[in-house]
Amino acid sequence: MSETAAQTSDVPGAATAGHGNDAAAAGESDVIAASVRGLTKRFGARAVLDQLDLDIKAGEFVALIGRSGSGKSTLLRALAGLDHDVSGELAVTEPVAVAFQEPRLVPWKRVLDNVTLGLRDASPRQVAVAALEEVGLAERVSAWPLTLSGGEAQRVSLARALVRRPALLLLDEPFSALDALTRISMHRLVLGLWQRHKPAVLLVTHDVDEALALADRVLVLGDGRIAHSSAIDLARPRDRDHPALTALRLRLLSELGVPAAESAS
């Protein structure tokens, strides 16, 4: 792995009406939602994050991929303020909200009460109902978590993040336990929420196609740093067979060390 700064590449957009242009027009692009400099996290002698630098712009949708154990969750936890045993500089724009792979709902609280849990708002119930409506769960406000499907539980988890009105939304493999069809509807939901509310998003995923479908920028974590960064300026929804995405898919897989046996160059 190179010891230089992150390699970057841009995928030229076929469409000109993508989100990137909207963001530029709105003048959002210079505002930073998260800034990390020289972030280092050690477990014993091992530096899982090693002088990592990262900037996420306000309203930017960033996907982070990396091999299992590469430190993705460790980085997310540091950004979420859940780990203070790190060195380096970390600045994030509050509020920050997190959703994990497991929805982490409290089983003895109904859906609505899970969403309002710990929420400081003048009218928490109203805000929670609105968020549950947004994620398509208006009829389940009084349901018990154990009666929900995996996709529904994950939507409650998103609603719980949403009511915090995050400037930075951290998602740690939130869809990886869901079946393929549910995952696709969750992709649509997340894109819709992001387009309406415009938080910066850092989505950790091990699914390269998920990253390509959703993100403005895909980062690869390797050797404790951002080893690669590719911008994707294509309008959504994206055609997964778009030539630019096909090329980038191969590139990212090779960055991940997945042998692309027959792929030339």
Q: Quick one: which segment of 5-13, 70-78, 79-87, 240-248 binds Mg ion (CB under 5 A)? A: 70-78
- Where b means 16+ CB within 10 Å and e means fewer, 224-249 reads bbbbbbbbbbbebebeeebebbeebb
Q: How far is the CB of 36 from Mg ion (least distance, A)?
A: 17
174 binds, among Mg ion, ligand ADP, none (CB under 5 to 8 A by kind): none
Instruction: Please report whether residue 72 would count as binding ligand ADP according to CB under 6 A.
Output: yes
Q: How far is the CB of 66 from ligand ADP (least distance, A)?
A: 5
Chain positions 148 to 177 lying near ligand ADP, rule: CB under 6 A, are none
Residues whose CB falls within 8 Å of the CB of residue 120, separated by 6 or more in sequence, listed in order: none
Instruction: Please report whether residue 70 would count as binding Mg ion according to CB under 5 A.
Output: no
Q: Provide the CB-side half-sphere exposure for 126 (13 A, CA).
A: 3
> CB-wise, 72 or 217, nearer to Mg ion?
72
What is the token pair recorded at 211?
A: 């990253």
Q: How far is CA 128 from CA 52, 116, 161, 199, in A?
A: 36, 6, 10, 18
- The residue whose two tokens read 């979420």 is 80
What is the token pair recorded at 146?
A: 């154990």
Q: Which of 58, 61, 73, 114 binds Mg ion (CB under 5 A)?
A: 73
What is the token pair recorded at 54?
A: 């990262």
Distance CA 79, CA 36 (A): 9
> CB-wise, 17 or 45, nearer to ligand ADP?
45
Chain positions 12 to 71 lying near ligand ADP, rule: CB under 6 A, are 43, 48, 66, 68-71
Residues at the interface with Mg ion (CB under 5 A): 72-73
Residues at the interface with ligand ADP (CB under 6 A): 43, 48, 66, 68-74
